[in-house]
Amino acid sequence: MHIEDTPWKNPIGETEDYIVFRDKYPVTEGHVLFVPKENTQASIMKCYAGAYAQGRLWVAEEWCDAYNIGQNIGEAAGQTVMYPHVHLIPRRGGDMNDPRGGVRHVIPEKGNYKK
């Protein structure tokens, strides 16, 4: 699959390396995707850097309290569009009862390892 074949439309941002789109099924308000223009490891790493920088900016501007960055790689991990993309999910205090465990919540009941 090439980026031209992906379902994402209406970009909200773009660099020479990636395009940013709103997630069609956002987990929280502001959930976005960083999609590399080329399917290479170097391009994916630039997506991670871009997502990290944007997350830091959101926190600094107090638009959100924290953020998660992640990627689903393969069907068993939940990937539905088989072109690489990086999720940036803004988090706000109270958006779930107990956020401890963060990305570990991809497996229900496994996120909070302190119980």
In whole angstroms, give the CA distance from residue 20 to residue 28.
16
Q: How confident is the model at residue 98 (pLDDT cuts 50, 70, 90)?
A: confident
First to last CA, the chain: 42
Better-scored residue on pLDDT, 100 or 45: 45
In whole angstroms, give the CA distance from residue 22 to residue 85.
12
- pLDDT of res. 104: 79
- pLDDT of res. 100: 83
For the chain, the domains span 3-93
Better-scored residue on pLDDT, 1 or 112: 1
Is the pLDDT confidence value at 115 over 60?
A: no
Task: State the architecture of 3-93 in CATH terms.
Answer: 2-Layer Sandwich (3.30)
Instruction: Specify the amino acid at residue 59.
Output: V
Q: Which residues on adjacent β-strands are paired with residue 35?
A: 19
Q: Which residues are CB-neighbours of 24 under 8 A, at least 6 positions away? A: 7
Taking CA atoms, 5 is separated from 49, 55, 102, in Å, by 24, 28, 32
Please state the φ and ψ torsions of residue 66, each to the nearest 5 degrees. -165, -175
- pLDDT of res. 105: 79
Mean pLDDT value of segment 66-86: 95
pTM assigned to the model: 0.92
Task: Give burial (CB, 10 Å; 0-12/13-18/19+) of 89.
Answer: buried
- pLDDT of res. 110: 66
